[in-house]
Structure 1
Amino acid sequence: MQQRKLFFMLVASFNLAANYAHPITPTYFKLLGLDSAMFGYAFALMSLGMFVASPLFGKLSNKYASKTLMGLGSLGYSLAQVIFAVAHSPSLILGGRFFAGFSCASFFVGALAYITNTTTAKTRGADLTLNAAIQTVFSALGYFVGGLVGDYDLMLAFGLQIGQLFLTGILFYFCLQNDLKVSDTVSSKKTSAQTKRRPALAPLVWGLLAVSALTFLGYTSFDQSFNYYLKDIFDLSTSYNGTFKGAVGLISLGANLTLGLYLVKKPHLKQNTSLILVLCAVFMGCVCLTYDLKWFFLANLIFYGLYAISVPLVQELITNQATKDNQGQILGAYQASQSFGRIFGAFLAGILYDQAPLSPFILGASSFLLAAILVIILPLSKKKPV
């Protein structure tokens, strides 16, 4: 129990620190004289780093304790932010962003592996839900704290982030117990030859990975356009965005710890997941139908809450397909599917917004609807595996 509390406290610390630099990045780029396109390039390179590295760390999660992957991920992100903070050229900045994505892959694959290794089929869904809630809430809180500190001093925000990520990585490695037994690592070494000839993932798993990619494509298309849309269409100041993000964090926490926990424990996981994805599509679609600011914010808040619930539900569907032999492969592929969706979501949103401001929202709603249809037609059992 103590180790579980420590794990979630350190996950909270990582997600808090990881977001300190996000609200100050546009200002930092302007001070360096970089154009607005660099913001999109930096996000794309970070997502690409996660996409490339996730399968690698999925394989490593079979051989090394998850605390090692999480510790290295946190330390690596700290180093990446040092590069980001001192770099004054586009090439170094983009290289730092790629390394940041590479490090994030190590952390997030390690976190999912830790939950999978330390829970049973009955308790896994609850821990996945709690993990998603902590990530959402502390990411929003980190965004808020970073904005406040950045208003005072940009380099102070970077320094706080670098120090906290470094300390978090050290604590992960030295304070968290191993989640892999010695017999597991020995068995992993004995089967290394079989691992090289590992069979392809089952079509069902590929279908679920497509669901994951579609949800992250839809969310990224929506989220990347949302901030700009507030200024472009409603001419709102940045303080509105910070306040809204804080409200999103609180609503996501409440949604996950109530409805999210309830749904993930119910036997009809397939039906519950498809329903939540359909509702995500509906409320994202409602955003396109209103120009009244009050209803616009309400539809967005409901969408963000539903999206927060959908993440652990999709994770549960995918982790239920994992066995001892292919767990690392599936976890790495899942993390890669997220990055794949982010890359194309951001890329398409940038192209479509220039054509019509509401286009990224329509793309997002369509992606969630398609993901829901895919969950419905996949041959998933009604009950979760025991």
Structure 2
Amino acid sequence: MKKKVLYLYIFTTLYAIVTNLAHPVTPAFIRNLGITEYMFGLFFAAMNLGTFIMSPFWGNLGDVKKRKYIIAIGVFGYAVSQMLFGMFRNPYYILIVRFTGGVFSSSVIVSLLAYISEDKDIINKKSVIAWFLALITFGGSISYLISGQLGDLFYDNLSYVFYIQAAASFIVALLALFLDTEVHGLQEKKSLFKQIKQFKYIPKRLVFLFIIIAILNIPIVNFTKYIDLYITDLSYRTSVVGYFSFTTGIIAMITTITIVPFITRKFPPIKTAIVSLLIGALMSFTTFIFASEHLIICLYTFFMVYIAARSTYEPSIVNHLNEEKNLSSGMLMGLRQSSLSLGAVVGPIVSGILYGYFEVGLFYILSSMLVLGAILLTVYYFWYKKGVVNDFNRKNS
């Protein structure tokens, strides 16, 4: 089992590296094509629209078929999409391959999280989930560091970065075939149509939670995307974005190793998420109050506290979803990924417009949305506790 989880960690890190490899150079690549800032948000939204539509499908398909094949297909399809992204110059063609990139890449995180959640041989699921999510961030940070250097090297033709990413993704697709995603402890595999019927049994409070997750992913995603753009707009080189993103990955890993294990043992997941959001809101807001004169200092101090808070919030939500027993892991993780993607569809479109008008003012709005999310999550928590009490009373009546 240790070897199985270790290979899962290695694969997760490699996947995160290759899928983020082109992100730091994308703003410069789009500008070199003469495409407006608004389209930058639209491209990102198109990818997340594909993820939003397909995540529940991949999750349910993984409950029926072997997840390693679903993961391999997803990475392969993403590789083709990114290769075409680097080749195309027409913004509408790019929009299409961004959508297909989301369609295929959505299979990976959903399948891996569902596997971790349902395999009874994985004893300390909270720890494994926290490490998994941290490695996604850490791998992405390593990727930003590499990509920043590649962006400087191929500044005159950034398409090469996309081609390198595609080639690396093809290799990772092959590595997916060596994943051991056979789940021990499950006695039956249902048909895909029976799995999809679970939609009818989703409780209203869980629908409310998925809406909250979508809302919260707007600031979480757009802090990352528009800080990259903001740094680029201030004439810093892509390597600066790379070093900054690498540091966020280190902070996420340190948080996972030191803070998350203690908190998950001591506090309920939703309470942890609420406090994390409030801390993140305060620190992100503080970052941009002083950013005009001391941007780099603020990013490496206050904003790193926000990263630590975010790294605590994300596993808390997944751990809470794992407490749900009426829906399959594939369905739950698919709906979570769709919720994340819904926020990432709406957010970049609106944020692209707001950034064009307000620039740094966008970040104040995003911080306020974290506070709103914490308030809504508090409402959900009381709703959830009421449901738990009612279920207990029914069983003992």
Aligned pairs for 1:223-238 within 5 A: 223-230=224-231, 232=233, 236-238=236-238
For 1:351 and 1:10, how far apart are their aligned partners in 2? 37
For 1:267 and 1:120, how far apart are their aligned partners in 2? 24
Aligned to 1:302: 305
For 1:32 and 1:307, how far apart are their aligned partners in 2? 34
**Is the contact between residue 41 and residue 351 of structure 2 (CA under 8 Å) also seen in structure 1?**
no
For 2:238 and 2:84, how far apart are their aligned partners in 1? 27
For 1:207 and 1:26, how far apart are their aligned partners in 2? 34
**Is the contact between residue 23 and residue 147 of structure 1 (CA under 8 Å) also seen in structure 2?**
yes
**Is the contact between residue 13 and residue 164 of structure 1 (CA under 8 Å) also seen in structure 2?**
no
Q: 1:375 to 1:38 in 2, by over 3 A?
A: closer
**Is the contact between residue 74 and residue 104 of structure 1 (CA under 8 Å) also seen in structure 2?**
yes
Aligned to 1:66: 67
| CA deviation string 1:240-270 (max 9, x = no partner) | 3222112111111111221122212334222
| CA deviation string 1:11-56 (max 9, x = no partner) | 1111101111112223433444434433222111111111111121
What amino acid maps onto 1:172 in structure 2?
Answer: A
What amino acid maps onto 1:349 in structure 2?
Answer: S
**Higher mean displacement: 347-356 or 172-181:** 172-181
- Residue 207 (structure 1) shift: 2.4
For 2:129 and 2:244, how far apart are their aligned partners in 1? 25
Q: 1:73 to 1:40 in 2, by over 3 A?
A: same
Q: 1:365 to 1:60 in 2, by over 3 A?
A: same
- Residue 271 (structure 1) shift: 1.9
What amino acid maps onto 1:3 in structure 2?
Answer: K
For 2:251 and 2:359, how far apart are their aligned partners in 1? 26
2:176 maps to 1:172: yes
2:166 maps to 1:162: yes
**Is the contact between residue 64 and residue 180 of structure 1 (CA under 8 Å) also seen in structure 2?**
no
**Is the contact between residue 50 and residue 336 of structure 1 (CA under 8 Å) also seen in structure 2?**
yes
What amino acid maps onto 2:277 in structure 1?
Answer: L
For 1:63 and 1:180, how far apart are their aligned partners in 2? 14
- Residue 348 (structure 1) shift: 2.1
Aligned to 2:29: 28
Aligned to 1:253: 253
2:315 maps to 1:351: no
Q: 1:241 to 1:146 in 2, by over 3 A?
A: closer
For 1:158 and 1:305, how far apart are their aligned partners in 2? 30
Aligned to 1:311: 314
Extract unaligned runs of 5+ from structure 2. 389-397
For 1:255 and 1:371, how far apart are their aligned partners in 2? 22
Aligned to 1:135: 136
What secondary structure does 1:112 align onto? helix
For 1:353 and 1:35, how far apart are their aligned partners in 2? 12
For 2:263 and 2:211, how far apart are their aligned partners in 1? 22
What secondary structure does 2:384 align onto? coil
Q: 1:313 to 1:194 in 2, by over 3 A?
A: closer
Q: 1:114 to 1:307 in 2, by over 3 A?
A: same
What secondary structure does 2:259 align onto? helix
| CA deviation string 1:61-109 (max 9, x = no partner) | 2212221221111111111122222223222211111111111111111
- Residue 329 (structure 1) shift: 2.2
**Is the contact between residue 255 and residue 311 of structure 2 (CA under 8 Å) also seen in structure 1?**
yes
**Is the contact between residue 67 and residue 181 of structure 2 (CA under 8 Å) also seen in structure 1?**
no
Q: What's the % identity of the aligned pairs?
A: 23
What amino acid maps onto 1:41 in structure 2?
Answer: L
2:202 maps to 1:201: yes
For 2:325 and 2:77, how far apart are their aligned partners in 1? 28
What secondary structure does 1:144 align onto? helix
State the Cα RMSD in Å.
Answer: 2.6
For 1:35 and 1:358, how far apart are their aligned partners in 2? 18
What amino acid maps onto 1:39 in structure 2?
Answer: F
**Is the contact between residue 272 and residue 313 of structure 2 (CA under 8 Å) also seen in structure 1?**
no
**Is the contact between residue 106 and residue 337 of structure 2 (CA under 8 Å) also seen in structure 1?**
yes
TM-score between both structures, scaled by the size of structure 2 = 0.86
- Residue 119 (structure 1) shift: 4.7
TM-score between both structures, scaled by the size of structure 1 = 0.89
Aligned pairs for 1:105-116 within 5 A: 105-116=106-117
For 1:159 and 1:304, how far apart are their aligned partners in 2? 30
**Higher mean displacement: 288-297 or 360-369:** 288-297
Q: 1:261 to 1:95 in 2, by over 3 A?
A: same
What amino acid maps onto 2:361 in structure 1?
Answer: S
**Is the contact between residue 38 and residue 352 of structure 2 (CA under 8 Å) also seen in structure 1?**
no
- Residue 305 (structure 1) shift: 2.0
Aligned to 1:265: 265
| CA deviation string 1:311-342 (max 9, x = no partner) | 1111112232244x443222211001101111
For 1:264 and 1:182, how far apart are their aligned partners in 2? 26
Q: 1:24 to 1:229 in 2, by over 3 A?
A: closer
Aligned to 1:15: 16
Aligned to 1:330: 332
